[in-house]
Structures are given as C-alpha cells and as structure tokens.
C-alpha cells in the first residue's frame, strides 16, 4: 500500500489552467477562423505553426533536461482537447512529434528522445509518424523492414517510429509520404506512408510498449473529445436559435433529450480519458483504463458525430457549417492508435481487474 493517497480530485491545477487558457486563446484567434482555409491548403499556415512552437507547446511533454516542460499525460489530454475543439487537423499538424514521442520515451528513454525527436523539432515542418505494428517483430538494429500505412494524417514522414506489442523501433531514414485524398483532418495533410530500409534502433519490452500504446490511445481519444465537445456545443447553440413549429427546435423534447444524451456521451468519454491520464501520471498501470477510454470515445463518436449533423438538418450536410467536418474528423481519429478492435480486446482482457472496484490494495 502506498504511504500517500492522491485524494479523489477532479480539479484542474493552476499550471494546467494556464496552459488551457493560452491554448484556448491561440486556437480561437489562429485556428478556428482558418478552419476551412487550412483544410483546403492541407496545411496549417507556417506563421501559425511558428507561433505555436514559440509558445513552447511543441515541447510540453519533453523532459525539462531536454528543453521541454516535463508535463504529464493529463496536461496533454487537456491541451489536445482544447486544440481539437477548434480544429483537430491543425492540432495534429502542430504537434509534430505526436504519439511517436511515447514509443521513444517509454522504450528508448531520454537518450532516444534526444537522439531522434529533438533533431526533428529543429527542422521546420518535419513530422514524425507512429506506425502501430500488430505483429511482434522482436526487431534488432540493423534489420531490414518494409511496410505501408494506407493513411496517416501528415504530409511528411521525416521520422518513422514503430510500436508493436513487444517493443518498438526507429527507421534509419525517412518514410515516403505520397499524398492521398484523405477522408478528414486535412489540415494535418493526408498521405500513404511507405517505409523501408534499416532499423536504426530497436527496443524490447512489453510493459514499455503497453505504456506507449496507452498514451497513444489517450492522445487520439482526447482529440476525439475536443471534436465531439465542439460538435455537441455547436449543434446545441444552433438548436436554441433555430425556430420551427413556433419554438426553438431545442425545446421539442425529441431534440432536447438527444442533446442531453450527446452531452452525456461526451462526458463519459472525458471522465474515462481524464481518469486514465491521471493513473498514468501517478505511475499506475493504465493499460486497461486507456484502452477502455479509447473504446468509449469511439462509441461516443458514432453517436455524437452523425447527430451533430442531424440537429442542423440539411444545413448540417453543407460545408458552410463545421459539423460535417466534425463528423468526418472524429470518425477518422478513431481509426488511429491501432483502432477500436484491438483496444476492445485489451479493455476486455482483464475482467478481474475490471470489477475489483474498491478491492485489493
């Protein structure tokens, strides 16, 4: 039993609140007004990316020794949520290391981050790609590897990091990013990634791989939450302003209840994601909790995404409004981090741990 217990606490620390506030301001001024412009350009404007980097947000989770802020998973979750409420595609584009950082951190440690991640941040526009490998390769440095990722929300693959069930690897050279049309998240780019060549470094370790995947899942899930919060709030506001049959459509009970259920669906995902992030930050095993949180967010997205459009009716289907983009973005985000089926397998693979609510020590 540990000596000290973190009390049940749903509060947001002052540090995190400060980050949320400055990211909210940045997102409202720089991202949201350019939602469709960045989508069309398939990129975030360079000056916006430069501002983001200058504010230090590219290095939120890097250790302080490596010039980062050394902040934890809850901070990342809140930051992703805040950015994705404005534009999840831009959030992906701006965070150039993305979840590849977790594989480096958890498997290769600070040395791997220093060797592979830091040089990337010094190269303008360079991007890292995390390849979720379902096979357990037991790869070694010097081995050859080849593969294709049908879609990744990026326009470049300067660094390719693989994460399998038993470990991870880093490709020696860059991957080849060939533009594809893409279903969503266009501000981040959309490419088919072909990678091949020698493995520069490889690490074994199921526990580290599980921790990295848990973080990658929360990374994707928190972006989904931001999109869903925006879609739910936007459609809710619309429903209060749009009048039909003599009253705001939100006051017809069929829609009022739908709006409540959408709110609850997002809230459940958020509670589970934040809880899993808190577990990670206090050093607890969060493999199952993060997998379940990801599954919950994907399930919520199937409900919230289409219904955000539904509430706006025909208008929702038009690109004049952001809800159609939210529906596509949130669906696409749910395909990342290994997808829902593997997450569900892992969420369901610890049935005893699941139910031991207050049991054990």
Q: Minimum distance between the CB of residue 269 and another protein, rounded to whole angstroms?
A: 8
* Closer Cβ to another protein, 17 or 144, answer by number: 17
CA–CA separation, 308 and 326 (whole Å): 8
Which residue in 239, 312, 327, 336 binds another protein (CB under 8 A)?
A: 239
Segment interacting with another protein (CB under 8 A) among 3-11, 75-83, 116-124, 173-181? 3-11
- CB count within 10 Å of CB 239 equals 20
Segment interacting with another protein (CB under 8 A) among 58-66, 156-164, 172-180, 250-258? 250-258
- Asked whether position 351 contacts another protein by CB under 8 A, the answer is yes
- Asked whether position 354 contacts another protein by CB under 8 A, the answer is yes
CA–CA separation, 333 and 322 (whole Å): 16
Q: Minimum distance between the CB of residue 64 and another protein, rounded to whole angstroms?
A: 26
Q: Contact, 189 vs 154, CB < 8 A? A: yes
* Closer Cβ to another protein, 69 or 256, answer by number: 256
- Asked whether position 361 contacts another protein by CB under 8 A, the answer is yes
Structure tokens, 344: 């569900």
Residues 6+ apart with CB under 8 A from 24: 82
Contact pattern for another protein over residues 103 through 142, marking x by CB under 8 A: ----------------------------------------
* Closer Cβ to another protein, 7 or 150, answer by number: 7
Residues 96-122: b if buried by 16+ CB within 10 A, e if exposed: bbbbbbbbbbbbbeeebbbebbeebbe
- Asked whether position 263 contacts another protein by CB under 8 A, the answer is yes
Segment interacting with another protein (CB under 8 A) among 103-111, 167-175, 215-223, 249-257? 249-257
Residues 6+ apart with CB under 8 A from 47: none
* Closer Cβ to another protein, 23 or 259, answer by number: 259
Quick check: helix, strand or coil at residue 234? helix
Q: Minimum distance between the CB of residue 330 and another protein, rounded to whole angstroms?
A: 18
Which residue in 28, 141, 260, 318 binds another protein (CB under 8 A)?
A: 260
DSSP 151: E
Strand partners, 199: 171
- Asked whether position 356 contacts another protein by CB under 8 A, the answer is yes
- Asked whether position 347 contacts another protein by CB under 8 A, the answer is yes
Map tokens 């159609």 to a residue.
324
Backbone angles phi, psi at 286, to 5 degrees: -120, 15
- Asked whether position 240 contacts another protein by CB under 8 A, the answer is yes
Q: Contact, 171 vs 197, CB < 8 A? A: yes
User: 265 to 324, contacts with another protein by CB under 8 A?
Assistant: 267-269, 271-272, 275, 282, 289, 292, 295-296
- Asked whether position 8 contacts another protein by CB under 8 A, the answer is yes
* Closer Cβ to another protein, 314 or 351, answer by number: 351
Number of residues that bind another protein (CB under 8 A): 44
CA–CA separation, 211 and 149 (whole Å): 22
CA–CA separation, 235 and 36 (whole Å): 18
CA–CA separation, 153 and 91 (whole Å): 11
CA–CA separation, 269 and 297 (whole Å): 5
Which residue in 248, 285, 315, 342 binds another protein (CB under 8 A)?
A: 248
- Asked whether position 22 contacts another protein by CB under 8 A, the answer is no
Helices then strands, each counted (H, E), the chain: 14, 8
Which residue in 36, 192, 251, 302 binds another protein (CB under 8 A)?
A: 251
Q: How far is CA 64 from CA 56, 61, 72, 73, in A?
A: 12, 9, 12, 15
Interface positions with another protein (CB under 8 A)? 5-11, 236, 239-240, 248, 250-251, 253, 256-257, 259-261, 263-264, 267-269, 271-272, 275, 282, 289, 292, 295-296, 344, 347-348, 351, 354-361
């Amino acid at each position: 039993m540990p000596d000290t217990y973190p009390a049940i606490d749903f509060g947001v620390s002052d540090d995190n609140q400060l980050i949320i506030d400055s990211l909210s301001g940045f997102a409202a001024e720089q991202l949201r007004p350019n939602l469709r412009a960045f989508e069309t350009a398939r990129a975030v404007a360079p000056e916006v990316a430069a501002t983001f980097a200058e504010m230090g947000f590219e290095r939120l989770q890097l250790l302080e020794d490596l010039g980062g802020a050394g902040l934890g998973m809850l901070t990342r979750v809140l930051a992703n949520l805040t950015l994705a409420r404005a534009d999840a595609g831009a959030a992906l584009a701006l965070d150039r290391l993305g979840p590849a950082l977790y594989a480096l951190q958890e498997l290769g440690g600070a040395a791997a981050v220093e060797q592979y991640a830091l040089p990337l941040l010094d190269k303008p526009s360079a991007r890292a790609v995390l390849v979720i490998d379902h096979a357990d390769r037991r790869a070694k440095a010097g081995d050859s590897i080849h593969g294709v990722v049908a879609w990744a929300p990026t326009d470049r693959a300067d660094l390719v990091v693989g994460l399998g069930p038993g470990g991870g690897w880093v490709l020696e050279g860059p991957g080849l990013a060939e533009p594809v049309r893409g279903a969503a998240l266009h501000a981040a780019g959309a490419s088919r990634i072909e990678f091949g060549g020698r493995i520069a470094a490889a690490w074994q370790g199921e526990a580290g791989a599980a921790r990295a995947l848990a973080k990658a899942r929360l990374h994707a899930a928190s972006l989904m939450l931001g999109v869903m919060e925006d879609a739910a709030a936007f459609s809710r506001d619309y429903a209060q302003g749009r009048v039909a049959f003599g009253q705001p459509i939100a006051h017809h009970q069929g829609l009022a209840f739908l709006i409540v259920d959408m709110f609850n669906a997002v809230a459940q995902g958020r509670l589970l994601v934040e809880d899993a992030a808190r577990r990670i930050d206090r050093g607890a095993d969060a493999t199952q909790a993060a997998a379940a949180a990801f599954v919950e967010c994907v399930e919520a997205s199937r409900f919230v995404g289409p219904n955000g459009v539904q509430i706006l009716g025909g208008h929702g289907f038009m690109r004049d409004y952001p809800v159609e983009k939210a529906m596509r973005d949130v669906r696409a985000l749910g395909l990342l981090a290994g997808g829902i089926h593997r997450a569900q397998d892992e969420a369901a693979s610890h049935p005893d741990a699941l139910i031991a609510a207050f049991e054990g020590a």
